Each structure stands twice: as C-alpha cells, then as structure tokens.
Amino acid sequence: MLSVAIFLPLLAGILVLLVRQEKFSKILSLITSGVVLLIVTYLFLGFDWNKAGFQYETKYPWIPTLGISYHVGVDGMAISLLLMTAIMFLASFIWSWKIEDRPNLYYALFLILETACLGVFSALDFFLFYLFWEGMLIPMYFIIGLWGHERKVYAANKFFVYTFFGSLFLLLGIASLIAYAYINTGQISFDYTFHRNFSYPLWLQLLAFLLFGIGFAVKIPMWPVHTWLPDAHVEAPTAGSVILAAVLLKMGTYGFVRYSLPLFPEASKYYVPLIFTLSIIAIIYTAMMAIAQTHIKRLIAYSSISHMGVVTLGTFASDINALNGAIYMMIAHGLSSAALFMSAGFIYDRIHSYHMDDLGGLARYLPKLAVVFMISGLAGIGFPGLAGFVAEFLVFLGTFKNFPLWAFIAGTGMILSAAYFLYMYKRVMFEEETISEYRLEKWKHLKDLELHHFIPFVIILACAFLLGLYPLPFVKIVEQTSRYVLGG
C-alpha cells in the first residue's frame, strides 16, 4: 500500500510526459493526488499508536552487494507528514488549475516531486532516503527556474547549489556510518534499523552528527545557511512555494528526528548549546528580518525560518513534550505557511505585485481573501484554537522544563511573529489611504477567490482548525515516534 502511494505519482508523471495533453495532465494529476491522499488517509486511520516501531513495513533486497534494500515503513511522525504531503499536493494541483505556461511539464514535475517527498518520509534505508532526498532537487530546480518570477535563474541556482552542498555532507555522513559499521562488523548495510541498533563511539557520533546536521540544516534552513530560502520563495511560483514551505523544509527537521537523535544520542546532547544558539538566532533574528521586509513573500519566507527555529529548539530539548511539539509544529507550520503563500500568490495573481507599497485596502475589494488570510496568519503566529498554538505550547512547555532560560528567550520570538504578521496584514488589507484613487478605481473590478482557490484554502484551514481544537489523537500518533526516539 505504502509503496503504491509512493510510486503512483511517478508513474502518473511519466504518463503525463508521454501523453502531453493539457486536459489529461490536469485531470490525471488531480486523480492521482486524490488517490494518494485516500491511501495515506487509510494508512493513517489504521495506524496503531500504541505499538512501538515502524508499521506497514516492506523490505526487499535491492543491491545486495552494497547491503542496500528497498525498505519503507512509517511511524507516527512519518505518517503524519505523509498525510500533510498528500494534502498539500492535492491542494497545489487544484490551485494550479488555470496554469497556462507549459502545463504538461509543470504537472509532470510536481508529480515526480510528490514521489520524492513521500519517499523521503517513508524510506528506512539510507540509500533509498538519499535517493528520494536528491530526487526532489531536480523537479524543484526546474519549477523555480521555469515558472518563477524575474530573478528565477539566480534563485534556482542558489537553491540547487545550497541544497546540493548540504546533501553532499549528508552523503559523507552516511558513508562514514556505513564504513564504520563495515570495518567493525564486516557487514555492509544501509538499513536504518541495522544502524539504529548499532551504538557508535562518541568521536564518530560527533563527526557524523555534524555531517548529517549540515545536510539537514541547509534544508530546514537554520540560521547561517538560510539565505537561499527567501530568494527561492520570492521567485518560485505559488504552488512551488507551497510545496517548498510545507513539505521540503520539513525534510530537514524530519531528518533530525529520524536520524540525528536516535543514531547519535550522546552527540545530540553534546551539541545542544550549538543547536539552541542557532535556533534562538533563527527565531529572533529572522523574525526581526521579517518585520523589516516590504515584499510579502519574503516576509513569509523569513517567518518560516523563524518557525523552523522553534522546531529545532523543541527537537533537541530532550523532553517528550517538546519533541511532540516539534513534530506537531512541522505539521502546523506546513499548513499555515502553505495558506499564507497561497494568499500571497493570489494577491500577485490579481494585483501583480508583492510589494506592500503597491498594496493596501484590499479587505474592501477582496473580502473572502481577507478572511482566509487572517485565519492563515493566526494559525502561523500560534493563535489558540489553531494548530500552531498547540505546537508552540508543547515546545515551550517541554523546553522550559529543562532549559528555562532558552525557552524564555525563544518565547519573545513569538511576540515578534505576531508583530510582523499584523503589520503585514495592516499594510496589505487596510491603509486604503496610501493607494492612489486611480488604482482603487481599477481594483473595484477585482475578482475574489474562485472555486479553485477556495477549495485548497478550505482543506488546509479545516485541517488547521482540527489540529487546533482536537489535538489529542494527533499528539498520540506523534508521541509514538517521540517515545521511540527518546527511548521511553
């Protein structure tokens, strides 16, 4: 089942490339992502959160000489992320319903991207994981480079080189683990569970943690290596931004929880000050950067970095609540940032500008957008009743127990997040007086959300409400991973 869900989009993508009919591509993509969502939902509902370890496992030997196998399976974190991924792709496909520029290639790339994303979250073999991890690079590169805005080539190249830089370190980290295990046991294996039961000496842990960490940090992105993200977001098309923010960024934090924490437990403790410092810088500094932006997509991009800082903070707080919160935050941030980027993309579709100077008073002309924009923003800044609140609450609760000072400093970042969002909302939706009469006259005829805009918003915001109002089952599912990772 799981494998079907992973590879179905790839098959559909190849089919789309072969047939090259616009209508066919669109309908097939919708059906495919719908079926994937159904399968993943089915798996999600059947998931047993009381059972430790991986479920729905499939394992076939693939390259026996190198100890590589096709091994997939999910735990609580993975199945939640899979569900979010499936929802996001369905939403993106609906959102892109009216794309005109090379639609077949566009849909094919997104379908291939979906396979890679689903694969990353379910691979239990280092090789397979890396395959999917890199597999997402090429489609995303072309999505930014071909359908982006003015400086798309620059952004696409920057995205590629940064991510590839990280991936190479990840690769070296993987190679060092494999080599160590090979020297000591004489057995060469890329299997996750094999390495999970293997305890590495401290020096290797410290080294491999850094190598893995660089790979993940670029993807998250953490503070000093974050500069590709604002550019990529600013230039990417809306659906690309949605996937980038909602799914791709989660791969890094997912990697930390899946690989760094359980494989290098001592190193994870050793590097806590480093990770915390970087996280705090990310939370505070990028939130301040966000306040200074006048480009709405850039602002949302910086807010993403800030929120991902909360995730890394919670991940390494060595507390089950904080880890639950961190994983919950991945989902919550995925939902809110996707909705925010869709709002920004919609504004661009109508007004053809992302700059706050060109925007203002939109609440009067696009009332439906004003509502969904507000809800998405509140979900992002952690307003009670929405998903972000539960996540942030759990992270700070857990972190406060072990590291009160850090938690306190990070908490101030949350105030900043309210500041930048409300500031943006004020500039974009109100402050009609800054806009010329001529423009306002033209805006009278703006069309509000259409059906293909409305459905994705409804899906995503419904999820945000669900996660915010009734978090218990989801926290339980996520906790299945946390217990396993923290060895509780």
- Interface ranges with other proteins (CB under 8 A): 62-66, 127, 130-131, 134-135, 137-138, 142, 145-146, 152-153, 156-157, 160-161, 164-165, 168-169, 171-172, 174-176, 178-180, 182-183
Shortest Å, Cβ 387 to other proteins: 34
Spatial distance between the Cα atoms of 416 and 466, rounded to a whole number of angstroms? 26
Give the residue with the Cβ less far from other proteins, 168 or 409. 168
Rounded to the nearest 5°, which phi and psi values hold at 360? Answer: 160, 145
Q: What b/e sequence results for 32-53 when a residue is b if at least 16 CB atoms lie within 10 Å of its CB, and e otherwise?
A: bbebbbebbeebbeebebeeee
Give the residue with the Cβ less far from other proteins, 105 or 371. 105
CA dihedral (84, 88, 90, 91) positive or negative: positive
Distances in whole angstroms, Cα of residue 127 to Cα of each of 66, 119, 284: 10, 11, 36
Return the axis-axis angle of helices 126-135 and 103-122, rounded to nearest 10°. Answer: 160
Shortest Å, Cβ 67 to other proteins: 11
Give the residue with the Cβ less far from other proteins, 227 or 353. 227
Among residues 352, 383, 351, which one has the least CA distance to residue 366? 351
Among residues 219, 217, 259, 253, which one has the least CA distance to residue 330? 253
Give the residue with the Cβ less far from other proteins, 137 or 291. 137
Strand ranges (E), 64-193: 68-74
Give the residue with the Cβ less far from other proteins, 164 or 470. 164
Shortest Å, Cβ 125 to other proteins: 12
Shortest Å, Cβ 141 to other proteins: 8
Give the residue with the Cβ less far from other proteins, 108 or 477. 108
Shortest Å, Cβ 64 to other proteins: 7
Shortest Å, Cβ 92 to other proteins: 21
Among residues 327, 334, 303, which one has the least CA distance to residue 416? 303
Shortest Å, Cβ 240 to other proteins: 15
Give the residue with the Cβ less far from other proteins, 40 or 128. 128
Among residues 298, 376, 309, which one has the least CA distance to residue 336? 376
Shortest Å, Cβ 63 to other proteins: 5
| Distance from chain centroid for Cα 454 | 22
Give the residue with the Cβ less far from other proteins, 63 or 462. 63
CA geometry: angle at 270 spanning 208 and 324, to 5°? 90
